[in-house]
Each structure stands twice: as C-alpha cells, then as structure tokens.
Amino acid sequence: MVKLTINGKAHEVDVEPDTPLLWVIRDNIGLTGTKYACGIAQCGACTVHVDGQPVRSCAFAVSDAADKQITTIEGLATNGTLHKVQQAWIDNDVPQCGYCQSGMIMAVAALLKEKPKPTDADIDKAITNICRCGTYQQVRAGIHAAAANA
C-alpha cells in the first residue's frame, strides 16, 4: 500500500512500489487528464507536480511520491479559478488535439513559478514537451501572455 496526496486529497493504493506514478494517477485514482505517450520521460505528456516540481510521471516510481503533494492538471485551478496558464491557453486558442497540453500546461506552470517573466531562450530551454500538432507558436504566445498576467 502506498499513501498519496493528489490535488489535496489523500489516497491509499495497492500497487507495486515501482509502478510509475502515471499509471496510479490514471488507472487507480481515475484522473485521466494526465496522459501517456512515451513511457520513457521523453515527451512530457505525463507531467505533474510533485511538491511543486515538474515531474514526468511515466518514469517516476509511485513510491518516490509517497507522502508528497502531487498536483495534476485537474488540480491546477484553485477554488474554481483557472490557473493563469490555463486562462492564457484559452485566450490564445493554444491546443489543437490537446492530448499533450495537460503536460505542457503543467510544465509551463512550473516554469513561471521559477521564472515569472521567461525570455524566449528560457522557454526554449525549459519547455521540451513534444506537441505533434505543432502548436509551439501558440504555446510561446500563451506563455508570454500568462507571464504578462502577473
């Protein structure tokens, strides 16, 4: 049994300790906003926050998340108010198929926490998530819009 706190709610799950956090979030907890795409921490579709840090949950053992605060895309808004990255994504019509965008938004939210006004170079370095639809131009615009909304 592993004890987890996800989006402020306590859970106890019966899984092998080396199970990737992604699959616990999706299949055991039932929060499907966090996506599987590669399983080897290459694409970032599965990005969640563990104690505020962005983590690629497909290659992150659930046991390493025990007793830590996990935030998924479903928990990013606070009291019904969208996170400024989510709002910027709506304002800039960023997603296309949207599949990678949960991870993209979580990665960007973590970047803005560390660097509230990132330069393009900061973005290039920090945001390495794959978007196969190629919405990168809108992602960049969205990041700057969110940063401007301090």
Partner 1 sequence: MNFMPKMNRRDFVVGAAAGSLTLGMRIPFDAAEAADGAPEVNAWVVIKPDETVVVRIARSEMGQGTLTGLAQLVTEELECDWSKVTYEFPTPGENVARKRVWGDFFTAGSQGIRSSNEFVRKGGAAARMMLIEAAASEWKVPAGECTAQNGTITHAASGKKTTFGAVAAAAGKLEPPTEVKLKDPKDWKVIGQGKKRLDTPIKVNGEAKYGIDTQVPGMLYAAIKACPVTGGKLASFDAGKVEGRKGVKKIVKVEDNAVAVIADSWWRAKTALDALPITWDEGENAKVSSASIAAWLKEGLDADTALVGNKTGDAKAALASAAKKVEAVYAYPYQHHVTMEPQNATARYTDDKCEVWTSTQNGEAALALVSETSGLPIAKCEVYKTFLGGGFGRRSTSHDYVKQAVLVAKQMPGTPIKLLWSREEDMTHGWYHPVTQCKLTAGFDENKNLTALHIRISGQSILATVAPARMQEGRDPATFSGFYPGGAEAAFGYDVANVLVDHSMRNPHIHPGFWRGVNINHNAIYLECFMDELAKEMGVDALEFRRKIMAKHPKHLAVLNAAAEKGGWGTPAPAGHFRGLAQHMGFGSYVAACAEVSVQGKNVKIHRIVGVTDPGYAVNPAQIERQIAGSFVYGLTGLFLGGNTVKDGRIEQENFDTYDMMRIAQMPKVDAYVMPSQGGVWGGVGEPTICVAAPAVLNAIAAATNTRYRTFPLRDHGLTLV
Q: Find all residues with CB under 8 Å of 74, minimum gap 6, and list them.
A: 7, 31, 33
Q: Does 5 bind partner 1 (CB under 8 A)?
A: no
Q: Does 61 bind partner 1 (CB under 8 A)?
A: no
Find tokens 């170079």 and name the residue: 121
Q: Measure the CA–CA gap between 60 and 149, rounded to whole angstroms.
A: 32
Q: What region does 14 belong to: left with phi over 0, alpha with psi -120 to 50, or beta? A: beta
Nearest to 146 by CA among 103, 121, 110: 110
Candidates 30-38, 49-57, 63-71, 110-118 — which segment interacts with partner 1 by CB under 8 A? 30-38
The answer to whether 39 and 31 have CB atoms below 8 angstroms apart is no
Q: Does 144 bind partner 1 (CB under 8 A)?
A: no
Q: Taking the complex as a whole, how short is the minimal distance between the CB of residue 68 and partner 1, in angstroms?
A: 20
Candidates 49-57, 63-71, 92-100, 111-119 — which segment interacts with partner 1 by CB under 8 A? 92-100
Q: Which of residues 70-89 bind partner 1 (CB under 8 A)?
A: 72-74, 76-77, 82, 86, 89
Q: Between the CA of residue 112 and those of 16, 55, 93, 149, what are the distances in Å?
A: 34, 15, 19, 11
Whichever of 70 and 123 has its CB closer to partner 1, that residue is 123
Q: Does 101 bind partner 1 (CB under 8 A)?
A: yes
Give contact residues for partner 1 (rule: CB under 8 A).
Answer: 15-16, 19-20, 23, 27-28, 30-40, 42-43, 45, 72-74, 76-77, 82, 86, 89-90, 93-102, 105, 123-125, 127-140
